Amino acid sequence: MEQPFILIVDDSKEMLTYMEIVLKSAKATIISANSGSKALELIKNKELALAIIDVQMPEMNGYTLALKINENRLGAIVPIIFLTAVYQDQVEILKGYESGAVDYIFKPVNRGILLSKINVFLELYNQRMNLPEDLMLLKKFEDNLSKSNAELADSQVKFKSFIEHAPDGVFIMNREGRYLEMNDAVSSITGYPKEDLNQMPLQDLIPEGSKEKWNSFLMKLLNTGTANTELTFRHRNGKTRWCTVDGVKLSDEQYLCFSKDITQNKMAADALMKSEEKYRTLLNASPEGIIIVDTKGIITDVSEIGIELYGSDGKNELIGKHILRFLPSGLKSKFRDIYNKTLEEGLVQSFELKLQNKNKIPFISEISSTLIQGKNGESIAFMIVIHDITHRKKLERQMIHNDRMTTLGEMATGIAHEINQPLNTLSILFDNMLLAASKEESLPKSYLEKKTEKIYDNIFRIKNIIDHVRVFSRSQDDAIYSSFEVNESIKNAASMISEQFRHKMIELDIDLSESLPPAFGNTYQFEQVILNLLINSKDAIEELEAILDIQMEKRVAIRTYKLNKLIIVEVKDNGIGIKPEELEKIMLPFYTTKEAGKGTGLGLSITFGIIKEMKGDIAFQSEPKKGTNVTIKLPEARS
């Protein structure tokens, strides 16, 4: 007699091979297929004793194949055993029972259980084919089948319990989209009790904006047997919420669906999108160049101004590259200093660097760096802000030069007196020599040498004054920074204003430490700092004298000394002083406490800029009508 046929369908080649090996001992002919369509082709005109089908397969899943195997079959219904994973497909198993399953085998497959179950169905098949044979065997089969049915019923109860307590909504609806059955999660998601949902059209929960999506989902489910969508629905409390719906056909009148409330995810995604849009707007609207760099130095984002500063064609040229790649080799160590300082302190501000763009055109930048931290305080990125201050630097240099010219204008009388004094001495010397020559036929050599030496001394003094004024008044756009003697600069500055002080009867007390180390900067710029402070002291003393309208002791003192590794310069006067509310404003550009027309308001602002350029600090202590003390701190010049 011809052996019965057993169909095995699994998209896994390894599983098919394993099943064929296991079933070699079974008294049956094995038909193997790796897809639903292949299986349907192989079993045409064949009566099957049993079909073992994998649930999860591409193209056609096991439930659909099971329905097609028994569709329009004239003979007996083919019993179906589904292969599934017990922990992954618990909800799916209910769907299998609706599709005609009589049993399940869970992966990994146990050889003994598999053979035992197959032999039961082979016996059933043989008994059906040989009804006149032993009725006792039929009774035994019926007992086994009853046992299997009891186990199956127990399994159905378990899986229905799993579905009932599943966190996501599981429901069965009819062709019209009305609830037939549902688990507790559906009631929780919609806010309606089960008795209200029973036979309720799902369309009643769908707002106008999502009805088209719902109708499209329903149409596809009816036509193809599977469909999924994402749409909004109305909760019982009247609020609109979001959900996903996946559906599969069980029969022409019943469709199994799974729904999940994704409102929180949607709200979070919308908030994230709005935050991203806001961040992008702020980034690109910033007037500064902003570069976002991760902790490894890789550029992750850049503002439009940042792209423009570099002269790039777009973000793609910068994003994903290491930031050091775009810096001149001489600046890489300085940039690492900024990186390390930002890690330690969280913020670095106003760090000046001379950068260059893509076309090697240099520009002066002011860089600030901020550490971006995560929720737990971990470092996740750096925000580097680059401000092009090239134009500002040019203006500052012009302001310094203009202020220098203003200072020279104020000192013109004193400088003229400085030059007139040696000129008067020369005039007297020449008069004496002419007078002596008229009385004597020949003058002694010692007399001439003495007079000539004095003439040369005075000429040299005039030359030095003119040379120094010429150098001081010259533009310092390309000023050279180097080590210089602070005391020498103070002496030179004092020499240009000393005659004014003598004329105004202001005592200039200079006390300079002989062991003072050199500073680093430009000596002429530092002279301008001292000149600005001395002129301010002179004006403050004159203003107090005018208010008091009495003769007073007028004194300005300059003192230098070393403190630790700092060079200290103090300029102290007994003038009008500065009011407490004005102390914080005096170094702002164009702010002045002097009467209209007497001050530009730039002197102290320029002084502050020069001292900061030298990596130093300047501080003011003042008491109204008692005087002002200015303290400058400069680092020693490195060797």
The pLDDT confidence band at residue 484, using thresholds 50, 70 and 90, is very high
Residue 599 in this model has a pLDDT that exceeds 50: no
Q: What pLDDT, on a 0 to 100 scale, did the predictor assign at position 601?
A: 43
Instruction: Give the single-character DSSP code of 483.
Output: E
Q: What pLDDT, on a 0 to 100 scale, did the predictor assign at position 89?
A: 55
Of 58-67, 245-254, 411-420, 591-600, which one has max mean pLDDT? 245-254
The pLDDT tens digits for 70-129 are 886 666 788 888 887 655 555 666 777 777 677 888 878 888 888 888 888 888 887 777
CA atoms of 352 and 40, how far apart (whole Å): 78
CB atoms within 10 A of CB 579: 13
Residue 46 in this model has a pLDDT that exceeds 80: yes
Residue 407 in this model has a pLDDT that exceeds 60: no
Closest CA to 528 of 446, 583, 473, 601: 473
CA atoms of 265 and 253, how far apart (whole Å): 33
Q: How far, CA to CA in Å, does 54 sit from each of 51, 93, 235, 239?
A: 10, 12, 38, 42
199 versus 246: the higher-pLDDT residue is 246
Query: Using an 8 Å Cβ cutoff, are 120 and 148 in contact?
Result: yes
pTM of the model: 0.36
Q: What pLDDT, on a 0 to 100 scale, did the predictor assign at position 255?
A: 92
For residue 101, what are its two tokens? 């399953």
The pLDDT tens digits for 282-330 are 766 666 778 788 888 888 888 777 777 767 777 777 788 787 776 777 6
Domains of the chain: 5-163 (3.40.50.2300), 169-266 (3.30.450.20), 286-388 (3.30.450.20), 397-635 (3.30.565.10)
The pLDDT confidence band at residue 412, using thresholds 50, 70 and 90, is low
Q: What pLDDT, on a 0 to 100 scale, did the predictor assign at position 597?
A: 42
Residue 401 in this model has a pLDDT that exceeds 60: no
The pLDDT confidence band at residue 222, using thresholds 50, 70 and 90, is very high
The pLDDT confidence band at residue 590, using thresholds 50, 70 and 90, is very low
CA dihedral angle for residue 583, residue 589, residue 590, residue 591, rounded to 10 degrees: -10
- For residue 71, which amino acid is it? E
For residue 105, what are its two tokens? 């085998």
Residue 50 in this model has a pLDDT that exceeds 70: yes
Q: Which of 21-25, 137-141, 186-190, 423-427 has the lowest mean pLDDT?
A: 137-141
For residue 611, what are its two tokens? 């001292």
CB atoms within 10 A of CB 416: 12
The pLDDT confidence band at residue 596, using thresholds 50, 70 and 90, is very low
The pLDDT tens digits for 548-558 are 888 889 999 99
Residue 431 in this model has a pLDDT that exceeds 50: yes
Residue 594 in this model has a pLDDT that exceeds 60: no
Q: What number is the average pLDDT over the span 504-528?
A: 90
Instruction: Give the single-character DSSP code of 638.
Output: P
Residue 264 in this model has a pLDDT that exceeds 80: yes
CA atoms of 560 and 555, how far apart (whole Å): 17
The pLDDT confidence band at residue 219, using thresholds 50, 70 and 90, is very high
